[in-house]
Amino acid sequence: VTSPDDRALSRFLADVERRSSDLEILTGDDCVRRYSDPFRLRSLGDGTVAAVRPSGGTAIQDIVRSANEHGVPLWPISRGENLGYGGSASFGDAAVILDLSRMNRILAVNVEDAFCLVEPGVSFVDMHDHLQRHDLPLWLSVPGYGLGSMVGNALERGVGNSPYGDHASQICGLEVVLGDGELVRTGMGALSGSGMWQRQRAALGPRYDELFVQSGYGVVTKMGLWLMPQPEASAAIEIELSDRDGLGGLVETLTSLKRQAYIQDSPVIASFLTMAALRSVRSDWSDERRALNLEESRRLRDALGLGWWNARTRLYGPVDMVELCLGHVEKALRPFADSGVRVSRWRRGEPIENAHRGIPSGGGLANAQWCGEGGAHVDLAVALPLSGAEAMRHALRVMDLLESVGVDYHSAFYLRERHMLNIVQLLFDRNDTAMCEAVEAAYKMLIIDASMRGYGVTRAPAHFRADAMAVFDFADHALSRMGARIKAALDPGAILSPGKDGFPAEIRPIGSLPTAR
């Protein structure tokens, strides 16, 4: 892993400082601390050497052009809260951080057509506050950790479980500075002055928004996102399933309800540790250096009042429709009556606190402390079919693999339109070298094991991107080669996000510039 050459770096920093009137530049220890991954498994570099923080305008184009001239790689981040997937650090600390968090304007919110246009520094909390302050009837889909940016989260395929919970799918129109410094607007934004930018995703030709999701092809400077219009009514159903092996049946039932459109959101089914790790620490239940055993797990569930699986789904729409759907859902869930099925309702006019809308908070971070002071996690998302049998098989495989390396099972299934997303968080103590090594090995095993059943990873930290990409092997890794060709066209100097794409080294079309692997 090579960091930018000292002389090139000084020339680059002097150059961008001269070109831009309002640019913050950070170097030294402060920079190393601020842009490190607090959850790193091991250090691949010596820490971030420098960061640049523009306030907007044409600064980004100037920075990207200057980076090309001086051969200095850049790693764009929005708010840098990508915890569990690399945080604010660049892969191997090999790039200067291009921190866009000062660009935090909400440029537009349209209530009638339910969309917004935001800069990268806008967090979910900022947007929530804005909607509250102006009393706008729009709801957010929020990820577990709400202090991150809407832009960074959508670009990394973050998830929530509202009907708008597939955040990358809600993107409508981007403004992007490509790797060579050219400024582009996607979709109808390409028609200067068009009011259609956030209303229709494609112009003539492909939908290019998706090209900038999880890629290193450009720096996103503005993003359009669709929001959820406030419904007339909502309802939530919570189920605590005490039987671990009942997962398959619950998946089948919820899937069937979703396919028939009785359920509008993405039902989520989470293992008990997902909640327990927010409310307790591991040492409350065990001091052993192995995965929690059956007895400890049972004691924990009894004490915290949790099911083995804890499911939640929500209904939205006009009052009559929600009641009709709820009737069907309650009937279908009768076989789970022993599992404590709880229903709550809200309708417009009642206190908004009781509505089933997403409220962003920083609380989701608490689970990192599960393994104590040095607590951390790395996360892995795998796409599976909507099948109860496959959910159970996958859960047992992951449990077995994690148990074999002494890591607890912390997992949630999100039931989507045509697939089910399983997000596993591997919680570890980063001060425990042996545990870090075990987690690293386990993560790679999980990738391979899923791929042998035909399942690929949809989100992984840059640390594991090459491993996760390598399983996409059709026609001798043609997909990676195509990605590398697009990269070469849009970022010919290989300046942006080195190591992020995870293309195998031999097909990486990179010139003489420092590369991450």
Q: Least distance in Å: CB of 64 to ligand ADP?
A: 11
Q: Least distance in Å: CB of 75 to ligand ADP?
A: 7
Residue among 225 and 355 whose Cβ is closer to ligand ADP:
225
Query: Tokens in use for 78?
Result: 């929005």
Q: Least distance in Å: CB of 20 to ligand ADP?
A: 17
Q: Least distance in Å: CB of 17 to ligand ADP?
A: 21
Q: Give CA–CA dist 108/116, Å, rounded.
A: 5
Rounded-to-10 torsion of CA 249, 252, 257, 261:
160
Residue among 23 and 300 whose Cβ is closer to ligand ADP:
23
Query: Tokens in use for 496?
Result: 């942006």
Residue among 151 and 250 whose Cβ is closer to ligand ADP:
151
Q: Least distance in Å: CB of 476 to ligand ADP?
A: 27
Report the helix count and the strand count for the chain, using DSSP H and E: 13, 19
Q: Are strands 106-110 and 115-118 parallel, antiparallel or unpaired?
A: antiparallel
The amino acid that residue 154 corresponds to is A
| Residues 6 or more apart whose Cβ sits within 8 Å of residue 51 | 25, 26, 27, 31, 34, 35, 96, 97, 98, 99
Tell me which H or E stretch contains 462.
Answer: helix 462-470
Q: Least distance in Å: CB of 76 to ligand ADP?
A: 4
Query: Which residue has the closest beta carbon to ligand ADP?
Result: 152
Residue among 249 and 492 whose Cβ is closer to ligand ADP:
492
Q: Least distance in Å: CB of 328 to ligand ADP?
A: 37
Q: Which residues of 443-461 are buried (b: 16+ CB within 10 A; e: fewer)?
A: bebbbebbbeeebebbbbb
Nearest of 112, 84, 80 to residue 97 by alpha carbon: 80
Nearest of 100, 130, 103, 99 to residue 116 by alpha carbon: 130
Q: Which residues of 210-241 are buried (b: 16+ CB within 10 A; e: fewer)?
A: ebbbbbbbbbbbbbbbbbbebbebbbbbbbbb
Q: Least distance in Å: CB of 153 to ligand ADP?
A: 4
Query: Tokens in use for 132?
Result: 């509250």
Residue among 122 and 291 whose Cβ is closer to ligand ADP:
122
| Residues 6 or more apart whose Cβ sits within 8 Å of residue 10 | none
Residue among 107 and 448 whose Cβ is closer to ligand ADP:
107
Residue among 216 and 267 whose Cβ is closer to ligand ADP:
216
Q: Least distance in Å: CB of 143 to ligand ADP?
A: 8
Q: Least distance in Å: CB of 318 to ligand ADP?
A: 34
Rounded-to-10 torsion of CA 174, 178, 183, 188:
-30
Nearest of 428, 94, 137, 95 to residue 282 by alpha carbon: 428
- Which positions touch ligand ADP (CB under 6 A)? 76-82, 86, 88, 100, 120, 148-149, 151-153, 155-156, 219-220, 497, 500
| Residues 6 or more apart whose Cβ sits within 8 Å of residue 338 | 242
